[in-house]
C-alpha cells in the first residue's frame, strides 16, 4: 500500500501547456516536499511546504499544501522542455524520515 499516491503517473504534453500533478494521502504530514529527478541522477529538492493551505511559487511552478496537510499539488504554467523529468512528492511523519510517492514522469514535447 502506497502511503502517498501521485497522479498521474505519466504525463506527456506540448510545450506551452499548463499541467497539475497531485499527491494524495489519508495520513497527515508535518511537512511535504517536492523533488525533481533527471535520468542517472538523484532527486533534487524543489520546495518544502509546512503549513496547511500554504502556497509557494518557484518561477512557473506553484506548490500547494492542503488545508488538512494530507495532500499537495504542483502546477506548472507554460511548460518548457526543460521541465521534463520525474517529479516526486515526499511526506515527513516524524522519526526524521520521509515517505515518497511513486512519482510522476513528465514529458514536455517541443
The secondary structure element, H or E, covering residue 91 is: strand 85-92
Residue 97 or 110 having the CB closest to another protein: 97
Tell me how far, at minimum, the Cβ of 99 lies from another protein, in Å: 8
What whole-number distance in Å separates Cα of residue 63 and Cα of residue 51?
12
What whole-number distance in Å separates Cα of residue 88 and Cα of residue 37?
8
What whole-number distance in Å separates Cα of residue 110 and Cα of residue 13?
9
For the chain, state the CA radius of gyration. Answer: 13
Tell me how far, at minimum, the Cβ of 69 lies from another protein, in Å: 12
Which residues are near another protein by CB under 8 A?
A: 2, 30-31, 33, 35, 40-45, 48, 50, 88, 90, 92-103
Q: Would strands 44-49 and 55-58 be described as parallel, antiparallel, or unpaired?
A: unpaired
Tell me how far, at minimum, the Cβ of 43 lies from another protein, in Å: 5
Residue 7 or 93 having the CB closest to another protein: 93
Residue 19 or 100 having the CB closest to another protein: 100
Tell me how far, at minimum, the Cβ of 42 lies from another protein, in Å: 3
Amino acid at each position: 500500500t502506497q502511503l502517498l499516491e501521485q497522479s498521474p503517473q505519466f504525463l506527456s504534453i506540448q510545450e506551452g501547456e499548463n499541467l497539475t500533478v497531485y499527491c494524495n494521502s489519508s495520513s497527515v504530514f508535518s511537512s511535504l516536499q517536492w523533488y525533481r529527478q533527471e535520468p542517472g541522477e538523484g532527486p533534487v529538492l524543489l520546495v518544502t511546504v509546512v503549513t496547511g493551505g500554504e502556497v509557494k511559487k518557484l518561477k512557473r511552478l506553484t506548490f500547494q499544501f492542503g488545508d488538512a496537510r494530507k495532500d499537495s499539488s504542483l502546477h506548472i504554467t507554460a511548460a518548457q522542455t526543460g521541465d521534463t523529468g520525474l517529479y516526486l512528492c515526499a511526506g515527513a511523519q516524524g522519526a526524521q524520515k520521509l515517505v515518497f510517492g511513486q512519482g510522476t514522469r513528465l514529458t514536455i514535447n517541443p
